[in-house]
Structure 1
Amino acid sequence: MSDHQHPETDQANRQAVHRLRDSAADSVKRMDEHGMILTIGDSENYFAETYFTAAKNIRVNEHAARPCLDDQALDEIAHRLVATFAAEELRRI
């Protein structure tokens, strides 16, 4: 068996990375609209974990889980992140 991946696998991996970056960039923009700063790197890490968790919960691979995070889901995630951060800040006061 060859150590090289098939071209289809390479393309699927590139598409997955592209979708992850797009989701991260969208999230950074949405957080900015709420007056909060989120870095692309932190956002990518968050979405990589979110995709992994979603895939595990619905028993599909991460590639299949990614389309589940549409614009509405990204908006809800941004709202939840802002609410979570605000609640943590209130507890510190």
Structure 2
Amino acid sequence: MELQLATAEKPLTFSELRERVGIRDTGRFNYHLSKLRERFVRETDDGYDLGHAGERVILAASDVDPEIARARAEAPESTADEVCPVCNETECNRLIHVHLTNR
């Protein structure tokens, strides 16, 4: 679930998140989401997003260089001409990039 939130471009509604995770049972999904909301996921007016602890978990589990992620978080708003040091795309506003590998 945290991975789905980390890769989302905006907060996800309950239904959007449930569909991305692939859990049909609404009650079961709500139970697990409520457990994550205690520490890792925050609920906003627009939906669900990663909280600070959730971001740290994703960052620790991914292959993103923590120094690059920290620099991105502390950098002023980027200009349209800047290139993201992680994904090499222009106009990238993501703080966390998740790269999955088959192991």
Query: TM-score scaled by structure 1?
Result: 0.28
- The structure with the largest alpha-carbon Rg is 1
Greater per-residue helix proportion: 1
